[in-house]
Structures are given as structure tokens and as C-alpha cells.
Amino acid sequence: MKFSTHTPEETIRLGVKIGENLQAGDLVLLFGDLGSGKTTLTQGIARGLGVAENEYVRSPSFTLINEYRGRIPIFHIDLYRIESASQLENLGLEEILFGEGISIVEWAEKLFPDNQKDSLIENHQPRIEISLEFSKAESREIEISLKNQGTSDHPIFTLQ
């Protein structure tokens, strides 16, 4: 599924729709360059999951993981500062990524190192991948794909 947004507010609105359709245990992987809108989209996803409007959803670049309370617990993970698979192992992400909450991972490409045996995510692991790209000024091209979900009955398909 492909979407275009032209303002941060539109990106947040798309995030709200995504959040409204997520289920317990969903793993959302965000891919995109610095400033492409990953955190802005996450702010909308959190709102769609019921995080209070007055709770500030920010990138956990230095804390690595922020937890928010919505209708389902949300774990917002930022891997920007992670440089190796061993650093990932030390974070203990397995219980978060594969738990009953919703995990949203910025810089998700770091979960897939060149040496696949060091990857925390198996290629067959069900997940929602969202790629964000600049198109012009504040416009973004956002592509959502479901990986290894088996069938097309996930509620995220209602976004089309």
C-alpha cells in the first residue's frame, strides 16, 4: 500500500489510521533516512492506539526505548545509535519485539545485519514494514507492506 503525505499533520493522520488497526503483538519496522518522518508517523500511531494527546511521543534516540500506555502497550525503539549486533543483544529486545505489546522500531534496518545469523528478526517473522521517503519539501512517500502475515485478513488492509 502506498500513500503520499504533504505535511507533518497528514503524516500524523496516516499514523492514527495505522494505529487504530494494529493488534497486540504487532511488530512495526520503520525504514527511512534521517528526517524522513519516522517519529512523526510514530506520534500518529501512538494516538491511534489511544495514547493521550497531552503525552509527548518523542524519538528515544538516547534512551533507546520509550514505553507508552494506550489500549495496548507500545514500545517505541530507536536503533539509530546502535552500531553492532552485540549491542542489540545486550538490550534484551527479544521479549519486547515478540511480546504482547506493539513494538515500533525506527532504523529497523539495524535488526538485519549483513551476517543474517546475528539478526534478531528471522526472515519468516511476521511484521509490518513501513518505508518513508522524501519526495519534495515536506512531502513523503510512505509504503506499507505486510511480511509473512499468511493471509490478508490483518486489519491494516482496511487502509487501502
Give the per-residue pLDDT at 94: 77
Cα 29 from chain centre: 4
Mean pLDDT by 10 residues, the chain (160 residues): 94 96 93 92 96 86 87 93 76 79 92 61 75 88 84 66
Instruction: Identify the residue whose cell numbers are 528471522.
Output: 122
2-159 has CATH 3.30.70.260 classification: no
**How much is the pTM?**
0.87
pLDDT at 135: 84
Rg (CA), the chain: 15
- For residues 141 and 60, what is the distance between their CA atoms, to the nearest angstrom? 23
What pLDDT does 115 receive?
54
